[in-house]
Amino acid sequence: MTLPAERLRPPAPSLSLRAHDACPPETRLLLEVIMPGAAYRFGISRAELIGTRRCPRFVHARAFVVWSLRSLGQPLSYPLIGQLLGGRDHTSAIHLHEKAIWLRLHDREFAAACAAIAAAFTCMEETTHGNRCH
């Protein structure tokens, strides 16, 4: 008896196995703050944040997310960050990180956004460890 070719193929991965689910719990919390915060700060939707358009404000928002995920807490890998940003390649995440570093040096608003999220993250960490934020 021969089986049809479809029965020999492995099943498609479940939709519940997303990049977000692969993150440790503390990173998931950070993602729940960073992604909506970046979308709000740069005046775009979450769909636009992970979309394919390359207008400057979309690129800046994505660069902000990459910088945050690499600089705050335990750094995420570039492949995982690429997956979180709409299934992008790891080289896209690397380029966005480089863009974020350049923007922090040359764009005061971008640098202020990075400083604000870093301060909020520090406060969040202090609160979870029993210390009070100032």
Query: pLDDT at residue 8 above 60?
Result: no
**In the chain, what percentage of residues exceed pLDDT 70?**
75
Q: How far apart are CA 19 and CA 113, in angstroms?
A: 25
- Tens of pLDDT along 14-23? 323 466 677 7
Sign of the C-alpha dihedral, residues 81, 85, 87, 93?
Answer: negative
Q: Are 15 and 25 in contact (CB under 8 A)?
A: no
Q: Which residue has the higher pLDDT, 13 or 103?
A: 103
pLDDT bracket for residue 120 (50, 70, 90): confident
* pLDDT score, position 6: 46
User: What tokens appear for 126 in the block?
Assistant: 């202090």
Tell me the mean pLDDT in the region 50-65.
Answer: 95
Domains in the chain, please, with CATH?
Answer: 24-128 (1.10.1750.10)
* pLDDT score, position 32: 84
Q: Are 54 and 85 in contact (CB under 8 A)?
A: no
